[in-house]
Each structure stands twice: as structure tokens, then as C-alpha cells.
Structure 1
Amino acid sequence: MLAPKSQRLLESCERHGVSFSEADWQDHGAPCLLSDYLLQQLERHPKWLAAVTSKRQDWQPSLSHFYGGEQHWLAPESDPDNSTMSAVSSIADMPEWDEATFMRQLRWYRHYWMVRLIYADINQAIELETLTRCLSLLADTVVNASVIWSQRQYQNLYGQALDAQGKPQSLIVIGMGKLGGYELNLSSDIDLIFAFREHGETQGGKKSTSHQEYFTKIGQKLIQHLDQVTADGFVFRVDMRLRPFGQSGALVLNMDSLENYYQDQGRDWERYAMIKARVMAGSEQDKKEFEAIRRPFVYRKYLDFGAISALRDLKGMIAKEVRRKGIEHNIKLGEGGIREVEFIVQALQILHGGRNQGLQNQALFQVLPLLAEHDYLPQQEVDLLLDAYRYLRRVEHALQGARDEQTQLLPSDPVERELLALRMGENSWQALDQRLWDYRHQVHGFFKSLIDDPEETSCDESAQEAWRVMLKQPDEEHLAEVLATIPWHAVDDTINRVYSFVSSKAVVFMQPIGQERLATFMAAFVKALEDEQHPDVVVERILPILEAVLRRTSYLVLLCENQSAITHLIRLCRESVWFSEAISTTPALLDELLDAHALFSPPSKQDLQIELDQILNRLPEEDEEAHMDALRRFRRSIILRIAACDITGILPVMKVSDHLTWLAEVILERVLQQAWHYLTQKHGYPIRDGEPRLTPELIIVGYGKSGGWELGYDSDLDLVFLHDADGKGATNGQRSVDNLTFYTRLGQRLIHALTSFTAAGRLYEVDMRLRPSGNSGMLVASFAGFEEYQKNEAWVWEHQALCRARALAGDSDLMSRFEDSRKAILGQVRDRIELKQSVIEMREKMRAHLDSGGKDKGFDLKQGAGGIIDIEFMVQYLVLARSHEFPQLMRYSDNVRQIEAAAEVGLLDLDTAEYMRETYKEYRALVHRLNLQKLGRVVAEDTLSQHQQRISQYWEYFLQNADI
């Protein structure tokens, strides 16, 4: 009696007239039971069984195979027959498929090959190199098919894109990563870069357009054809984040721009990524031109010692990620995993490829043997790396082939583990697990030894021994002796605090290796305290950090091997309780202390974008939780670096806010992209003028501190979402919704992504009350509706808020239109008497409700009389009252430059403007300092009494002078 799964397949065969008996099942059916995806597809397409079980296999997907005749793919049960295929290389050879049919053909074609390959892989009837090459050829085929189909569709409308010699140009598609090396895995996304040869205008069509716009349209179509999920699934997930400037860069660049970018701005990690790049769609001329750009960028003619530090950084980044919790079961990213093998090979290619052109090959399987042949690695090590890599990749395929999922995580469920072992041909899970870890341990050993960067420990052996004894047998008298060299302010209190720590259950019951690491750290730490002026404060703030890392003592090793990191930790915790709390809450932030250059080099906005791209590009695009956690860890690490620069005086207050604001902008842009991807996968793309809009017609507007470049460490975000979609249109997916519903859901998705708590915390608190009509208004307003509201319904305080508003992320054209609209609204002619009265009433109302200072409490820096808000309200009045005369007043959205503009046009005398500006900056700097010490914003009355009194005088003058 057959099992229900096999019975369903046999019944499907019978319905479709396919001869496949129980005897056939006994011979060929076992692999089907090991893959839900395989069984599901064969139930739908039983006629594929003949090709799947055939002993004679041809592993060559191609355009001729795909375009061999409409009859082969229009019916899902059909099976392509290579013998009848004619060569297809041009538009003229392509069948007359409309777009829906074409996309369906692509998906069936992909399923057909996946079924054959998964079956062969489970049956161990195909070599790994053959399987990965076949998958890469499949990607080449569908990419080229999409380009040819789109060119045909646009031919009547736009004609052709010709170069200066009159030769036709096509979209150049560059495959990156495993795709570039013909090593694609069973359920991989594809990393692409789009380019074209020369700028110009199209010729021979009904209308002409620029080559840039023409190839952008073809690139957008390609993404839609492959990436969009329909009832038939998808073809490949397309990732464009490796292109120049990442997600913020143009979708398509011409070859000259590509060359200029890599020559002038290409980063070390992009050299690493470009090792595997190849042109997968384009002419022979395109391939030669691209190689002329790629090779000089990646490889140097000399032994590239300059790359060693960059490779160490990359190695450190990989090692840092491996230390993250829960990654040990990831056979790609975990210790000794696939990526460590790839790093070993590509690091040696970077170092030696300039002088040894044989190493300038994209395929790992071809490069590894050459490393032994040319004595860059011992033959024994190369053989082991090849065996390990093949086994790791086969396990990866066995994981992904089960359900056509992009995963590299080993299962925890016992049944899934045994099924995985069966797919691998192992006798049991224990056998598979043992073999896997044997390989991984050896790979990790090679990885650690590559580009060795020995670090000397400064920990004194006798001091370490004293702490070993202390941790085994805690004793207060002995502890007092160990700590006697430190200039404590409160000796007894500090010794009691340290004794409570070393005698706690968490320390007493540590594993021996953990106690050894703690003893080594304590010896180095106490030594560093001998010259410390505030050792009691430092100990009080660092002990919670030690308590947080007792179960992850590898951090103690890293700190002890890097004495400067201990020095940085002491200094920063002394100056900031916020810093101490941040690290004790998220010990992984200790990683940042290990690189002093990065810690004390504040990143630019472009640096932030690149760093975030590097982090997120390594994550599966569909793993939403991993992306949310990574964004939160990234934000915390960057804020910690900014705080380090603030505490040490590297950044003045204005620059601190700039960097915190850039960080918010970069995160908002990325969150918008992720929310857009999620919703378009679910509902398709919004349609406008008959064309799908492949990028969001939406902007995120920031008000207050984000709009005025004044974000603090714990600032929330005052946001407004504006869209410019066709209100009568709908999306083009299987689960279509109208455009307005789509954008409302996009707004909800954005708020969810920003405010949700995960294991890594929350990104930002978000306040949406400044949107048109406040909490009763639409979550995502139309741009036209926003303009109408601001012109006819908005209160004066809402126009005040607009003084400190600007677009932070989203569509660049809509951002420009918002700025034009903002200036038009601010530049309206207003009755100054009524305006001043409204401003004064609002200020009095705020002071009554929000001033947390007072006679016996102190001075509220923000809301108190003579504080920050008084300065802001006076400036906002000037912007609203006089911008129609002096447009300079509304050029910027930050208070400091608005003050400067008011002085420039004569509305403030230079002395008054200078005093207001410097006082405002001093107030903000003090607020930052108080935030770092978790002390709120109220200070003693006499702290800033002179500033408070003088700003109050300015406010009184503002109230009484009718000419202002």
C-alpha cells in the first residue's frame, strides 16, 4: 500500500495519461518523498517525470531551449524536447507571447529545471559543479529572455539604442557573487548590476527617449519578470544592492560612469565583490569593455600589501558576525561555513591575482587547485577545502531542495534532521552532523590562520594568578590587597561592590575557561585603573557590563588582547552612564571598541549607507526578522560611535546632531525599501498611466528635530507620509488592491518596522500627529491633499512646524516638489499682529503644560523661560512673517541657519543673532551631555542664569515691540 503522498502523484499521472506505475515508483519514487517541493511540482506536471527519471540527462538550459516553440511551454504538462529546438539569438526568433504569458513561461521553465536538478541531487546523480553551473545557465537564460522580450515590446515605441558607430546596444547585465562564478545554489537570489555602453537618444520609433531612460525601463521590466510573485511563483529573487551607490544609486549606469565610479569611489569590499562579476547579458564588445574596467579595479600588478588591512577588516567583520547569537547552525555564515572557504580563496586572489593572471577566474572550483599549484596553499589544505566546500554546498542544496526555500540553517526538529541525512545519503543525522563539524572545524582553523594578525596581551601573569585565586575562593581581605594600588574615593563601598560581583553565583559557577578569561581581564582592567581619576565611577559602570558578558566570555578575551579597547571602555563609561547601559544591554556593541579608527572616526552619510548595505546584503532578502534585528544592531553601534566622538570632543554638538540625523535618514530609506518590497511581493506594483511603478511614489517628511538636523540620542521621530500615486489606479499583482489602500498599508508597514520591539530593541519612537488633521487624518496623505490642507486649513502652529520640516527619504522628484511647496506656504503674506498673537498664545500654552522646571526644581533647558523654545518661536515668527520679503529665511529648516539668515537680511542685529545662535548651541550641547548621563533636561537655576535672563529679555522685547 503506497503512502498518501505517492498515491496522489500516481493519481495525477493517471489523470494526465502518464504511464507511471507502482513498480516505477519503487524504482524512482524515493527522492520525491524527501522534497515537498519536488512532489508538489510533479503532481502539477506529471509529464515531467520522463525527463526527471531519464538516465540520459542534458544539463544545458539555453535560449533555444526556452524559445523552442510555443507548444512546448504553453501547456504546463508539456516537456521540452531539445532535439526540436532551433537556435534563438534575436528578437525575431521569439514567440509572440504577451507579458502575462511570457512571465508564466518563465516560471514553468524554472520549475521544470528545479525539479530535474533537485531529483538528481537527492539521487546523487549529478556532480556539484554541474548542478551549480546548470543553475547559473538557467539564470543566464531567463535574464537574456527578459531583455530580448522587453526590447521587442519597446521597439515600435522607441526604436533602437545605437552607439556612435551605429551599432545596436542592449542592456548589459552583470552577474555577481555565486552567479558570476557559475556557482549558483538551488534557491538563491541573483545579485545583478545593470549598465549600457553609450549615452544618446533612441532612433526609429514613434518617439525618442534617452538611452538612460530606455535601459532603465528594460531593467525595471527584468526585475518585474523574474522577481514578482504570481500564482505560478517567481523565477529568481533579484537583488540590485551591489550596484554603485547601492539602493540610492541609479538603476542603470553607462560604462563610462561605471568606470569612473570604480576608479574614484570603489571601496575595498567592492573589489572583493567584483572578483566574481561577469557579463551575463550583453555582446562580446560589452564583455571586453567590462573586463577592461573590472580587472584593473580588482587586481594590482604588484603584490597587493595595501589590500591586507582591508582583508583583515573583512575577516574581522565575518568573525564578528559569527559571534552573533544563533549563527552557529548556519552552514553559510557560521564558523567554518561556506563563506569562510570563499573568503580564503578570494583573499588570495586579491593578494596575488595581479601578478598571476590564472587566479583572475570567477569560479572557486577552478581557482582552488591553482592555489596549490603555485604554492599559495599546501596541496593537503586545498584538497580538504575542496572536500569541505563540496560537502557544505551539498548540505545547503539538501536544505533548500526540500521546500524551495533560501535557507542555510540546520534543522532542530528530529524528523527534519533525519530527512536531511537521507537527502545527503548519510546513515543518520549523527553521522551527518559529525562529518559536517569535522569539516567546519578544519575550515575555521585555516580561516583564522589566514592573514595572521597577532595581538600581544599586556596582562601581567602574577596579577592574573591573584585573580584566579580570588575567583575560586572569594575573600574580602585578599580582594582589598589586590585593589590596594587604586586611588579609590570610597574604598569600602567599592571593595564591597567588587566582592559582591566575584562572589555572585554567576561567577562562582562559571566554567573553568570562563573564570580563566575573567581573571585575565580583571588583571588588565585593574592595572588600567591605577592612573584613573574616578575609579569608583568606572567600576560602578563597568561591573554591569561584566555581568552581561559572563555567558559570552569571548568578549573578555578580545578586550584583554586589545589593551586600547579597555582604555576606551574606561574613558567612555566614566563620561557617560548612557554608554555603560547601552553596552550592558547589548554586549555585542563591545565589538566597536576593538577598532579605534572606526570608533573615533564619525561616519559620513555615504559611509553609513555603504556599511548598512554590507550588513544587509549578506542576509536573505525574505528574512524580515533578520533584517529588522540587523537594522537595530546597526543603529545602536553607530550611535555608540557617535557618542564616543561626542564624549571625546571629536564632534561638536552641531555635528553630533548631523550624524544622528544622517543615521535616521539612512535607516528610513532602507525601511522604506523593505516595506515596499514586502508589499509589492504581496500585491504587485501600483499602476500609473498603464505602467507599473517599480519605486515608491512616496516621501517621508521629518518635522522638529529630524527636520531641523537636531536629533539627539533618544529622540523620537515626528514624521508625515505623503504619496503621489494615481488615486484611481490599482496594483498589478494576483492580490490586487487599489493604490490608496496600498499606500496606507505601506505607511502601516513603515511604522511597524520602525517601532516594533525585537530581541535587538526598537529603531525609533514615531509621532505622526503632525500629519494633516492630526490623529484623525489619513495615515498617508496625498501630496495634493497636503498642499490643499496647508493652504486652507492648517493652524499657525502647523506652519510653525513647517519651518522645521524637510523630506528625509523617498522619491527624489517628490522630495523636490515638497520643498517647493514648503517654501510657497511659508512665503505667504501674513498679518503680523495676528501671527504674533498666535505664536505667543501657543508659547504660553506649552510653558504651562510642559515646563518641568520651576522655583525649587531648576531651569528646564527646553521649555523654561529663556530656554530653547523661546529662541525657536522667535525665529519661526520671523520666518513666517518675513519670508515673502526675504526668501533666505526659509532656505534651510534648522534653527541656527535661520538665525544666521535673519541677521544677513537685517531682521536681527549681528550681536543679538550671535548671542542667540551660541546660546542655542550651548543649550543643545548641554542637553546632549545630560542625555548621556541620563539626567533629563532640568539644571540648577544658577547654571545658565546669564543666558536665561538675556534670552528672556529678547522674548520680552519680542512681545512688546509692534514693529517686529
Structure 2
Amino acid sequence: MDLLLASLPPELVDRARRAWEALCEADSDGAARAAFGDDAGRCGELVRVLATSPWAAATLARRPVLLAELAASGELWQRLPEEAWDHALAAELAEPEAELPVVLRRFRQRAMLRILWRDFNRLAATAETVRDTSLLAEACIRHALAACQTQLEGRFGRPIGRRSGEPQALIVLAMGKLGARELNLSSDIDLVFAYPEGGETDGERKPISNEEFFTRLGRALIAALDPVTAEGFVFRVDMRLRPYGESGPLAHNFAALEAYYQDQGRDWERYALIKARPLTGDPARCEELMRTLRPFVFRRYVDFGVIESLRAMKAMIATEVARRGLQDNVKLGRGGIREVEFVAQCLQLIRGGRDRALQQRELLPVLDSCAALGILPSTVVGELVEAYRFLRDSEHAIQGYNDRQTQELPRDPHARAALALVMGCAGWDDYRQQLQTQRDRVAHHFDELIAPPADAPAAPLAGVAFGAVDAVTLAGLGYREQEATLGLLAELQDGSRLRGLQSEGRERLEHFMPLLLEACAEVEAPDLALRRILPLVRAVLRRSAYLVLLTENPPALAELVALCEASPWVAELLAAHPVLLDELLDRSSLYRAPDRSRLREELAQQVDRLPLDDLEAQMDALRYFKAAHVLRVAASERLGRLPLMKVSDKLTFIAEVVLEQVLRVAWASLVTRYGTPARSGEGSGFAICAYGKLGGIELGYASDLDLVFLWDAEPRGLTDGERSIDNSVFYTRLGQKIIHILETRTALGQLYEVDLRLRPSGASGLLVSSLAAFAGYQREDAWTWEHQALVRARPVAGDPQVAEAVDVLRCAILARPRDRAALAGEVVAMRNRMREHLLPRKLAEASFHLKQSPGGIVDIEFMVQYAVLAWSHDEPELTRWSDNIRILETLGREGRFPEAVAADLIAAYIAFRSASHRLALQQADGVVPLDGDVRQHRDAVLAQWQTLFAGIEPAGLDKKTEAGAGHDIR
């Protein structure tokens, strides 16, 4: 032992020796020491604890049996399962003549001794220490509450809900660190008491109201935990976070809680409720309570409106540090634990409504999510996590010294030496240097958070109410249509939405509008930009946090103006879905449209933390994902960073990734209800095939999806769930669920319109076809125009084996030998009839419809489809691709078209589609002047059309083909 004592810092040797002697004297039978034997390592752990915690030394001197028990059980050297605390306390309370106050306090002593031992000897990580302390508190609360409730019910009966007629239970809401299971070694516990509904107890002699019953129960629980007795205390209880604070009722029913937070809840209470977690009560009623509170805590949008309140909280923190002289407080001081928590919880309040990954209680997972979502750089998160662990370990070393609720750095040299030893530092000076490094990092990131915008030069409209703006002011800013613009501003001011606006919203609008007018003045067409943005302003008047977002972020406002000036389509997208304004905050992501693999990663980050069976959450996440990435594509195209082919690629990739997740969600939903379909082999046996623009990798901004659903499983098989159904029924319902997820309109709109008319037998056919039926139809019953459509078909999601079978079938159908003259007649007839249906009748002579005019996009596509059907039997390579560009390249390479002709058709196709994309963003119809390059491209297309189809008589069309002519089979 002398050798072990000598290894301690000099300041701790005498204290540790005296503690050892006291333990030896108390351990008269030697049982505690015998449990350690000659194990030098474990004896060293004991000496370390005796040296660094006078509380532990005194506890062991009073109750050496604890050391013997903990050592003999091995609990000092192993992580305990979560349920161990409840089981151990229940066993002690079940002993004859067990007294609740005494048992609770002695149980805490034993448990805290173990937790401190493992923490001070670094046998447990920080996360385990706070978890175990929290589990200890939860067990004490649950068992104390159960005992107190049994006693009260014996006097007054059970509390019964007036509305439901069911017994009621007290829900103890853990707040703060206990709610997050992050309790420190000597922490108080913040609680809120709630119960579902009013009523009264069912006692025969003394019925009382539920409110009185639960108030009495709450007081009894506090009395069991809080007071200091000869055995110490259990946990100090703080009830000040309840509604109305110390002046409010001790327990509230659900309706009262909801009314309070809806009418009087403040932002600091939202901040406090982030970590709220029910510890007791019926799980269903607990979930009901949390559903009630969640909208108050997490707004449904990016809540920049809370920034001013958070700035006020932040300033209050800084003022408190200076006023109270908290520089030596590792929690409350500059760069302390509270500042790390503030960083995380601020971002939760601002973004938690949209990013559900932030709706967590534990701090470290929240920081990890901030990095994964790109809200904080990973380097910043790494520094905050490292600092947080260092600070929490310091807090535990300080509190475990004397079991006192303090975070103050010690002044006593013995306590300082103990702190440095626990923290693994060479001495006090080394510890202070490391501490300062960590606190400086935290303070820097704390200062950067929601910092006020940098002072900008005085602007022309600074201090001018937008209602006072006149024509002269607008002209000075560069507006050309001053009277029309003033009329738009007057309409905004006189609108009913503005008249019903609360004062906070009015103030935000008054502050924002001059900034908007000045931002619009920076672009080429300020009147146009403002006219396109004002619908967005009107849309967010009652959600004015979006105005704060743009006010706080001038670069984002500039991006908004530039995008809306360039495209009314983008302006309408943002007005319909203001939540997308958040995308404007990060230029690097706004103008970077990811590839397919990165899209999958980003979507996985957003949905993997959502339960697959939470359909609403999945649908919202998918809709935001799609809308945000389509906005990024449009922004990138506006800057010229994405050529046409890449735009279509990106839009196609977005749809494919969305379809993969939609199928995953729908499949999980059906399998949960019915089980898995019977089939040989692995996989789902289901595939989604894309036709048209998606199949041809040519999706546009507003394109619908032409889809066909196919399945391949045992024809007469059944699912293996308790509610078994036929395979065919299962797959039909799977298709219906997919359509529901894609087409249902939510607050974020719909994902895609779905067109299923290209399935076998069209609108009259089955919603979902078996692979065998599909193959039979394509071989025996499909018409030429349906084989034309098959040229642009490809599997995009689902079972790879089914997809491969579809690919094989497609190639076989396309490569069948055909009578080329008859084929040409049918293709020409179909093209003529489509033009009759779809080409505008009053097209000016000098105008050109990019799609339907002779020599336009559709003519190129029909020639490609004809070429594939006519020559694939001899040129199988033509069946390889589903997009027109690569098929044209193959035709030129294989000599079926002269290479120059193929190049001309490719150039025309790209030019026409590029123009079509630009017009779509401008919400203009697809008509351009027939001059210059347009005429040259058209003439090249017409020349090749004549080469292929000169002298071909159009074939007669049956009714089914007539119907197909009215549908854009491309």
C-alpha cells in the first residue's frame, strides 16, 4: 500500500493514507480489503478514489460493506444493463420493514460510489457516467412515486378521468440533463408534473379532485427525494420549469399545459422543453403529451424568427458571467458547458422543425446530426464534442470530490491536485492550460453563433418605411416602371393578410421591404424581380420568420432576387414552398447539383432516422428533398453551370432516388400488414419501369412520370403474414401505395404526377402486371406505338432480378424482325395523328413549335424509334440505350445514318430541348421564331425525315392507336 500511496501527487499522499487507515479501522473483519486481494491494479483504483474523493472515503469509512459488495459482485468493473437499477431498487424495497426514505438514500450511496469509482478510474466513458447517473435517478423517481401513489390511493381512491372514465397516472416529465440522460454526479433534477384529464378519485369516503390528488402525489414524491437526512439525500428536486414557475400549480392536466404553451409559452420554455422526456405514466398517454408539446417546441419550418430571442438569451448569459464573476465555473463561465449546450439547442430550435434528426434530447447526437446535415462544419463539431467531454469530466471530478452541486474550480490545493489527477494531467498548471484551450474554442464558436449581421454601409432606404417610398425614390434606385411598382406595394399594404398581422410580423415586414427593394435594384430588371417575389412575401406574412431569414442573410436575399428575376417558375416554387428559402443560405450547395450516389447519401441522411412506418414524416422528407434538389438544378442551370444534358440527368437522378425510397416505404408498410410474398429467390419480386422522359433520361422540371409496375412471384402464392393475402393482391396494393405516396398533396405539395396509361391494355388494364403477363402482352398483343414507347423504357427501382428480366425482354421485343415498309407506314400515321391532336392550330407562320412542328423534337424521336424497331434485329447494339442521344450516336457509328446526319440530328435535338427548358423556366409555351439556327436545325430534321419516309403511305389507325395518338408516348 505504501508503494501505491507514493505514486500519488504529494498533496494527496497524507489524505489518502488517513482515508485508508479509517477504512481499515471500519473494516474490522477485513471483508472489504479481502475482496481486492493482492490485485495491484484494483488496489491502485481504491487508493485513487480515496485520494480524489473525500466523500467516497467518508462513505466507505461509514459503510465498508459497500466496498465488499461492489467488489464481490464485479459491478465496479463492468457496465450494467439499463434495467439493473430498477431491479436492484425493487429488491431492496421488497425487504421486510424497508423504509422508503432510508432505502432510497442508501441505494443512492451505493450506486454513486460505483459510478464515481468507474469515472475517476476512467473505467467508464463520459457517456456511461451520465447515463448511469440518470438511470439511478429514474429508478428512484419511479419507485418513490409508486410507493407514494399506493399510500394516497389507500386514502382517497384512484383518480379517474372525467371524460374517459379511465384511471389516471401522474406523468413525471424529466427536463434538462435528466431528460437527455446526461445527469452529472451531483445534479439536481428538473421535473414537471402532468396528468391526462380532470376528474376525481373513486374513494368511497374521501373523494378529491384529480388536481388535488396529483398535487399531493407530487409533493409526496418531492418529500421522498429532496430532504437531507442522516442518510443524506436522494436528488434535489427543482420544479421551477413548470408553467407559471413557482407561483403555478404543481401539476397540470394536458389541456391546461397545451393552453399555456399555446397562449403564453416563451422561447426559453421551448428551449427547456427540447430535452423533456416522460419517466412515468401510460406509454400511450405519454406519447399523446409529447405530440401535444412538439409543435410548440419545433416549428414546422426553419424558424429564424426565434433568433432575436436567442440573441437575448445569449447576451443574458454573457452578462451573467461578467456580473457574477463566473470565470472559474466550468459550466456557467465563458466557454463552459452551458455554451456548448446553447449552440446545439439553438440549432435545434431554428431547424428542428424541418430536420427531424435534430429532434433528439442528447447533446452529442445532436451535434453529430448538425455535421451530417451540413449545418455545422465537421471540424467545428469535432472541437465542440472534445471540449464538451473535457468539461463534463471536469465537472464530475469537481462534484465527486465532496458530492456537492458545484462547477467552480477549486481553490484548495488538495482539491486542485485531485482534479488534475482525475483528469490525467501532470499537475494543476497543466490542467488549467488544457482547460483554457478547450474553453477558448467553445467561446469562439459560441460567439459565431447567431452573431448580429455585420454593419453595412448606410443604404438609400435606411429608416424609410416602405409605405413612404415614392416614384422618385424608385427611379433613383433604377426602377423603370415606377407607377406599376408603387401599385404593387400599395396592394401589399392594403391586403387582408397584412391588416390581420400581429405587431411583430408588421415590424419584420417594415424592416424587410426596404432591403428587398434595394436588392431588386441590383439586378437588370428590378420591377420584374420585385413583381415575382411579392407573392412569396404575401405567402409568408403569417410565418414572418422567413422574412427574418432573408433579413439576417443578405447574400440569401440576393440569391432569391437573382433566381426570381431569371425564372417565374422558381419564384412560384418558392412562393408555394417557402421552406426552400433555407436552401439559399449555402451557395456551395445551392449551385452544386449532386450525382446519383450523393443524392442517395443525402436522402438517406434525411430519412434513415425516421421510422419507415411514419408515412407522414417520410412523405414530408421526400417532398422537401425533391423540391430542394430541383431548385438546385434550376439555380445551377441559371448560372450556366449545367448544360441541357446534365440538367436532364440531374432531374432524372432525383426522380430515381425518390422512387427507390418510395418503394422502400411502401414495401415496409405492406410487409408489416401482410408479410412477404411467396417467391423463389431473394429480393422483392417487384420492379418499377420508367417510360417516356424518365425512361429516356430526359426529365424536365414539371414532367410527370410514365410508369409501369411489374411483379414476378409465385402466381398462386400467399404472403407469410398473419393476415395473409394472394401475391397478386399484395403487389396491386403495393402499386396503389406507391401512387398514393407520389401523388398525395401535403403542405409541401406532391412528389410527381403519375401516368400509368402505357401499362398493358392501357387505362383498362391491371394496375400491376405479372412479368409473365407483360411478356405475353408485348409478344402477342402490343401495337407498334407501344413498341415505340418500349424504346424509351427501362427499370428504375426494385428487384434487380426482375429488372434484368425486363431488360432481356425489352431487347428481345425491340430486336424482332419487322416489315420495314409496314412499320414506316404505322410510324408516319401515328406521327400525323399526334400532330393533329397536339400541335396548336393557330400557330403563326413564322413560328415554330419546338416539340410538335414538322422538323421538331417529336420527329427526331419518331425517327429514332423507327430506326430501333427496324434495324435492331441486325444491329442489337441499338437496344442498349433508352435515350435518344446515345441511340443517334449508335446509328451514326453503325452506319445506319450517315455520321454527319446523326451529328446534325443530335445538334438539333439538344438545341430544341435546351430552348424548351429555358422556356419552361420562364413558364412560356414551347414556341420560338422560325429563323436562324432554328430554321437550320429544322431543315436538317426534315431532310432526314424525307430520306426515311419518302413515299410512305400512312397506315390506317385502329381505335386503340387513335387513343394513343392523344397521349405523348415519348
State the alpha-carbon separation in 2 of the partners of residues 124 and 522 from structure 1: 61
Give the partner amino acid of 2:748.
A
Alignment-derived partner of residue 708 in structure 1:
696
Per-residue deviation, 1:578: 0.4
Alignment-derived partner of residue 748 in structure 1:
736
CA deviation profile, 1:415-465 (whole Å, cap 9, x unmatched): xxxxxxxxxxxxxxxxxxxxxxxxxxxxxx999948636463465566565
Give the partner amino acid of 1:777.
G
Structure with greater Cα Rg = 2
- The aligned runs of 1:81-92 (5 Å cut-off) are none
SS class of match (2:807): helix
Alignment-derived partner of residue 463 in structure 2:
466
Alignment-derived partner of residue 392 in structure 2:
369
Indicate yes or no: 2:557 matched with 1:566. yes
CA 1:606–1:960: 2 relative to 1, 3 Å:
same
CA deviation profile, 1:95-137 (whole Å, cap 9, x unmatched): xxxxxxxxxxxxxxxxxxxxx999759749999999999xxxx
Q: Is this contact kept in 2: 1:721–1:779, CA < 8 A?
A: yes
Per-residue deviation, 1:508: 5.1
Per-residue deviation, 1:590: 0.6
The one of 366, 378, 390 aligned to 1:343 = 366
CA deviation profile, 1:199-229 (whole Å, cap 9, x unmatched): xxxxxxxxxxxxxxxxxxxxxxxxxxxxxxx
Indicate yes or no: 2:824 matched with 1:824. no
Alignment-derived partner of residue 269 in structure 2:
none
SS class of match (1:725): coil
Alignment-derived partner of residue 488 in structure 1:
479
State, as a whole percentage, how many aligned pairs show the same letter: 38
Indicate yes or no: 2:91 matched with 1:56. yes
Per-residue deviation, 1:372: 4.0
Per-residue deviation, 1:681: 0.7
CA 1:630–1:524: 2 relative to 1, 3 Å:
same
Q: Is this contact kept in 1: 2:775–2:809, CA < 8 A?
A: yes
SS class of match (2:710): strand
Q: Is this contact kept in 2: 1:464–1:520, CA < 8 A?
A: no
Indicate yes or no: 2:616 matched with 1:625. yes
Alignment-derived partner of residue 849 in structure 1:
837
CA deviation profile, 1:620-670 (whole Å, cap 9, x unmatched): 332211211221122111111111111111101111110110010011000
Alignment-derived partner of residue 892 in structure 1:
881
TM-score norm. by structure 1 comes to 0.56
State the alpha-carbon separation in 2 of the partners of residues 571 and 836 from structure 1: 48
Indicate yes or no: 2:749 matched with 1:728. no
Indicate yes or no: 2:950 matched with 1:960. yes
Alignment-derived partner of residue 935 in structure 2:
945
SS class of match (2:91): coil
SS class of match (2:706): strand
State the alpha-carbon separation in 1 of the partners of residues 499 and 397 from structure 2: 53
Indicate yes or no: 2:595 matched with 1:604. yes
Alignment-derived partner of residue 813 in structure 1:
801
Indicate yes or no: 2:916 matched with 1:919. no
State the alpha-carbon separation in 1 of the partners of residues 589 and 566 from structure 2: 19
Per-residue deviation, 1:612: 1.3
Give the partner amino acid of 1:724.
D
The one of 431, 440, 452 aligned to 2:449 = 452
State the alpha-carbon separation in 1 of the partners of residues 561 and 733 from structure 2: 46
State the alpha-carbon separation in 1 of the partners of residues 452 and 841 from structure 2: 52
**Unaligned runs of at least 5 residues, structure 2:** 1-85, 95-138, 149-171, 182-283, 285-340, 372-376, 408-441, 954-970
Moved more, 831-840 or 457-466: 457-466
Indicate yes or no: 2:571 matched with 1:554. no
The one of 761, 782, 796 aligned to 1:794 = 782
Per-residue deviation, 1:763: 0.9
Per-residue deviation, 1:937: 1.9
State the alpha-carbon separation in 1 of the partners of residues 759 and 734 from structure 2: 16
SS class of match (1:659): helix
Indicate yes or no: 2:673 matched with 1:638. no
SS class of match (2:561): helix
State the alpha-carbon separation in 1 of the partners of residues 688 and 570 from structure 2: 30
Q: Is this contact kept in 1: 2:817–2:870, CA < 8 A?
A: yes
CA 1:926–1:352: 2 relative to 1, 3 Å:
closer
Q: Is this contact kept in 2: 1:464–1:522, CA < 8 A?
A: no
Alignment-derived partner of residue 280 in structure 2:
none
- The aligned runs of 1:102-117 (5 Å cut-off) are none
CA 1:831–1:524: 2 relative to 1, 3 Å:
same
Indicate yes or no: 2:564 matched with 1:529. no
Give the partner amino acid of 2:352.
V
Indicate yes or no: 2:758 matched with 1:780. no
Per-residue deviation, 1:484: 3.7
State the alpha-carbon separation in 2 of the partners of residues 656 and 696 from structure 1: 32
State the alpha-carbon separation in 2 of the partners of residues 886 and 930 from structure 1: 37
State the alpha-carbon separation in 2 of the partners of residues 705 and 314 from structure 1: 44
SS class of match (1:790): helix
CA 1:806–1:711: 2 relative to 1, 3 Å:
same
State the alpha-carbon separation in 2 of the partners of residues 862 and 347 from structure 1: 46
Per-residue deviation, 1:543: 1.1
Per-residue deviation, 1:942: 4.4
CA deviation profile, 1:562-604 (whole Å, cap 9, x unmatched): 2221221111111100011111111111111111000001111
Give the partner amino acid of 2:854.
A
Q: Is this contact kept in 2: 1:458–1:560, CA < 8 A?
A: no
Q: Is this contact kept in 1: 2:532–2:565, CA < 8 A?
A: yes
Indicate yes or no: 2:836 matched with 1:839. no
Alignment-derived partner of residue 653 in structure 2:
662
TM-score norm. by structure 2 comes to 0.56
Alignment-derived partner of residue 518 in structure 1:
509
State the alpha-carbon separation in 2 of the partners of residues 947 and 640 from structure 1: 30
Give the partner amino acid of 1:494.
T
Moved over 6 A (4+): 51-54, 116-119, 124-133, 311-317, 345-356, 445-448
State the alpha-carbon separation in 2 of the partners of residues 825 and 117 from structure 1: 72
Q: Is this contact kept in 1: 2:711–2:769, CA < 8 A?
A: yes
Indicate yes or no: 2:893 matched with 1:870. no
SS class of match (2:900): helix
SS class of match (1:492): helix
Per-residue deviation, 1:52: 9.9
CA deviation profile, 1:303-356 (whole Å, cap 9, x unmatched): xxxxxxxx99999985663354xx9xx9x956xx62557435998998699899
State the alpha-carbon separation in 2 of the partners of residues 649 and 503 from structure 1: 39
Give the partner amino acid of 2:887.
Q
Per-residue deviation, 1:789: 1.7
State the alpha-carbon separation in 2 of the partners of residues 122 and 668 from structure 1: 50
CA 1:867–1:120: 2 relative to 1, 3 Å:
farther
CA 1:374–1:876: 2 relative to 1, 3 Å:
farther
State the alpha-carbon separation in 1 of the partners of residues 689 and 557 from structure 2: 41
State the alpha-carbon separation in 2 of the partners of residues 702 and 313 from structure 1: 45
Alignment-derived partner of residue 763 in structure 1:
751
Alignment-derived partner of residue 850 in structure 2:
861
Q: Is this contact kept in 2: 1:521–1:556, CA < 8 A?
A: yes
Q: Is this contact kept in 2: 1:853–1:938, CA < 8 A?
A: no
Q: Is this contact kept in 1: 2:685–2:712, CA < 8 A?
A: yes
State the alpha-carbon separation in 2 of the partners of residues 315 and 724 from structure 1: 49
State the alpha-carbon separation in 1 of the partners of residues 609 and 863 from structure 2: 49
Give the partner amino acid of 1:321.
R
Give the partner amino acid of 1:754.
L
Give the partner amino acid of 2:91.
R
**Matched residue pairs, number?**
597
Per-residue deviation, 1:820: 1.9
CA 1:354–1:663: 2 relative to 1, 3 Å:
closer
